[in-house]
């Protein structure tokens, strides 16, 4: 379920009877890419890794690359789950039994009403509670100027030396930070930072977007590190709130933020430093 939405995946962990294994599943759910991260991964693959592949093989190659990334994410999920089960969440493995409930005829009216109150209103309340303040914060950082430079640019310059260690730059890292409410807005924030437009920006042409990124220092190493960090970084705000609600502890919500972020930064650091040592950049 996490491939659709990590928050839904965390909620789905309720079917696991063992509290220990339920917690492991909830904490590691963020390692699989959700729908919010797939557009970022697909667009970067299209821009930086398909230029030398002739059609129609380019679509096959992109599909294979995406499948490899998904398999890698699943492997990381299994590895981290095993590590947790052997260390801080050690315990006796339990058996898993899936029981099919008796079939009942759907009640259309009840389904519609529950969908409105349990889902639509929940999404709207999240938009008011999280997305609206986050959007205001993004707008303020891009439109408040200090000494002729936006707050966004000041923050990006401050983060740049740290981000360079991991094959990123200050704008990319700041975009991931400001994209905490939703992974879908990371790329528009990156474009806003490079273009200094003051509002979230989208570019319809892949070629134009690639030229913009390359002109701002992107290489194939940058592209790989952005993809890897998109796979493994802190969960979105909704997932964090869901983990807090499902576990009843802010400690595990914070742990769920720190765990993928540390692993993602470590992998990006290794990839970037290896590329530098091998003179591949």
- Looking at every residue in the chain, the average pLDDT score rounds to 87
Exposed, middle or buried, 258 (CB in 10 Å: 0-12/13-18/19+)? exposed
**Within a domain: residue 98?**
no
| pLDDT greater than 70 at residue 63 | yes
Does the residue 85 lie in any domain? Answer: yes
Residue 120: per-residue pLDDT = 66
Q: Which residue has tokens 């005829």?
A: 105
Answer yes or no: is 117 within a domain: no
96, part of any domain: no
pLDDT over threshold 80, residue 50: no
Average pLDDT over residues 28-54: 84
For the cut 80, the answer to whether the pLDDT of residue 222 exceeds it is yes
Q: Which domain holds residue 47?
A: 6-91+129-277
Average pLDDT over residues 8-16: 87
Which band of pLDDT confidence, cut at 50, 70 and 90, is reported for residue 123?
A: low
As given in the structure block, the two tokens for residue 200 are: 């979230």
In a domain, 119, yes or no: no
Show Cβ contacts of residue 174 under 8 Å, excluding neighbours closer than 6 positions. 152, 155, 156, 159, 189, 193
Q: What is the pLDDT of residue 27?
A: 93
Percent of the chain with pLDDT over 90: 47
Query: What confidence tier does 178 reach under pLDDT thresholds 50, 70, 90?
Result: very high
Question: What are the residues whose beta carbons fall under 8 Å from the beta carbon of 256, sequence distance 6 or more?
Answer: 26, 27, 30, 235, 239, 240, 243
- 118 occurs within a structural domain: no
pLDDT at residue 218, as a whole number: 93
Total count of domains within the chain: 1
Write out the two tokens for 54. Answer: 């002739």
């Amino acid at each position: 379920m996490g491939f659709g939405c990590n928050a839904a995946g965390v909620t789905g962990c309720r079917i696991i009877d063992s509290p220990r294994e339920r917690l492991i599943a909830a904490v590691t759910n963020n390692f699989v890419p959700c729908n919010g991260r797939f557009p970022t991964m697909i667009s970067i693959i299209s821009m930086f890794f398909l230029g030398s592949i002739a059609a129609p093989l380019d679509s096959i190659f992109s599909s294979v690359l995406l499948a490899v990334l998904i398999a890698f994410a699943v492997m990381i999920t299994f590895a981290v789950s095993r590590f947790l089960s052997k260390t801080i969440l050690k315990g006796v493995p339990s058996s898993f039994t899936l029981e099919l409930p008796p079939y009942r005829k759907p009640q259309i009216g009840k389904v519609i009403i529950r969908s409105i109150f349990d889902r639509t209103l929940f999404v709207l309340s999240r938009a008011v509670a999280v997305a609206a303040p986050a959007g205001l914060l993004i707008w303020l950082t891009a439109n408040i100027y200090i000494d002729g430079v936006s707050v966004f640019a000041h923050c990006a310059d401050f983060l740049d030396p740290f981000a360079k260690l991991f094959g990123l730059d200050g704008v990319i890292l700041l975009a991931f930070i400001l994209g905490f409410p939703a992974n879908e807005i990371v790329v528009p924030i990156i474009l806003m930072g490079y273009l200094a437009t003051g509002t979230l920006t989208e570019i319809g042409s892949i070629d134009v977007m690639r030229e913009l990124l390359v002109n701002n220092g992107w290489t194939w190493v940058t592209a790989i590190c952005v993809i890897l960090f998109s796979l493994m970084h802190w969960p979105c705000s909704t997932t964090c709130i869901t983990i807090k609600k499902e576990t009843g502890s802010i400690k595990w919500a914070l742990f769920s933020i720190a765990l993928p972020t540390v692993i993602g930064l470590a992998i990006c650091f290794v990839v970037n430093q290896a590329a530098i040592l091998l003179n591949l950049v």
